[in-house]
Amino acid sequence: MYGRAQKIIYAVFVIAVIILGWSLDNEYYLQLLIFIGLNTLLALSLNMLMGYAGQISLGHAAFYGIGAYVTAILTTTYNVEPILALPAAVGAAMIVAWIVGIPTLRLSGYYLGMGTLGFGMIIHILFREWSSVTGGASGFVGIPPLEIGPLIFDSRRSYFFLVWGVVLLSIIMCRRIIDSRVGRALRSIHDGEKAAAAIGVDTKKLKVQVFVLSAAMAAMAGFLYAHLIYFISPGTFNFVASIRIVTMVVIGGMASIWGALFGASLLTLLPEWLHAFSEFEMVVYGLILMSVMIFLPRGLTRGVIDIYYRYRKSHDK
């Protein structure tokens, strides 16, 4: 039954993506949906680390940035094909995650938060100050569009399908990991690291592995972002961006794959809708996030499911 429900959800998701992709002609809406897709990837990547394994990262935008900058530098400065830059971008983020993860993931709780925060800041400063390579504070211009063989992703519609295809694959991959032996071990680390170790889970190794996976997914999002906008600047990958990813995970629902999608959607759409409030935009934005956390403390996904059950219960009586 569980498997069937999953299949229906996947089917709905795929059909929704296809219908939206074909029917929408408005560039603005397509762009918005592409951004939701990229943010979903980011939220999904952090959710594996934070929601499932229980390890907080306040520097996740750094991996997003590494993915974007590596492909920008390779494709523009060195004229590498974008498709060849992809493994380099993702690989670079994985190597950095591995090197940083081994000492940092020994920390836990607030201290891990602090450690990753510091890491994020260092990478952000690197993007901003290493002007000869990264273009510095004014950004990196002239990134070419993404070409894969004969396919050129230079229209919004084609990019929409590309990004959501990657999102779908990532969701399937995460789902499979979570339902596997390794996924159970990840959740056990979240509940009790010592207990997990006592039953034979190599907690240190597993934490670094999930950190590396998470960095790879974030770098993938960064790669897609760079070839979408053709221009990147350090501000996109700063501390606030890291916090936004954390917020998406928490608002959407920790340890929930679809929660990443809901959280990313809400946080991408809210600022657009709230333009109407002009100078009060940020106030309303903050109030909405606060209300979600007060009334749906377990995030949108669990919250909506709980409300549904409560509703059904009250009707059964």
Q: Could you say whether residue 316 binds other proteins (CB under 8 A)? A: no
Range in contact with other proteins (rule: CB under 8 A) among 127-135, 192-200, 272-280, 294-302: 192-200
Taking the complex as a whole, the smallest distance from the CB of residue 232 to other proteins amounts, in Å, to: 39
Tokens representing residue 188 in the block: 């056990």
Taking the complex as a whole, the smallest distance from the CB of residue 238 to other proteins amounts, in Å, to: 34
User: How far apart are the C-alpha atoms of 217 and 223, rounded to whole Å?
Assistant: 10
Task: Write the single-letter amino acid at 237.
Answer: F
Residue 220 CA from chain centroid, whole number = 9
Q: Which one among 188, 256, 268, 301 touches other proteins, defined by CB under 8 A?
A: 188
Q: Which one among 181, 275, 315, 317 touches other proteins, defined by CB under 8 A?
A: 181
User: Phi/psi zone of residue 135: left (φ > 0), alpha (ψ -120 to 50 degrees), beta?
Assistant: left
Task: Write the single-letter amino acid at 132.
Answer: S
Query: Phi and psi at residue 139, in whole multiples of 5°?
Result: 100, 180
Range in contact with other proteins (rule: CB under 8 A) among 24-32, 184-192, 296-304, 308-316: 184-192
Taking the complex as a whole, the smallest distance from the CB of residue 203 to other proteins amounts, in Å, to: 8
Kindly state the helix (H) or strand (E) to which residue 153 belongs, with its residue range: strand 151-153
Q: Could you say whether residue 192 binds other proteins (CB under 8 A)? A: yes
Judged by CB under 8 A, the chain residues 248 through 287 that form the site for other proteins are none
User: How far apart are the C-alpha atoms of 133 and 136, rounded to whole Å?
Assistant: 8
Q: Could you say whether residue 306 binds other proteins (CB under 8 A)? A: no
Taking the complex as a whole, the smallest distance from the CB of residue 101 to other proteins amounts, in Å, to: 18
Structural contact between residues 195 and 187, judged by C-beta atoms closer than 8 angstroms: no
Could you list the residues that contact other proteins (CB under 8 A)? Answer: 181, 184-185, 187-188, 191-192, 194-202
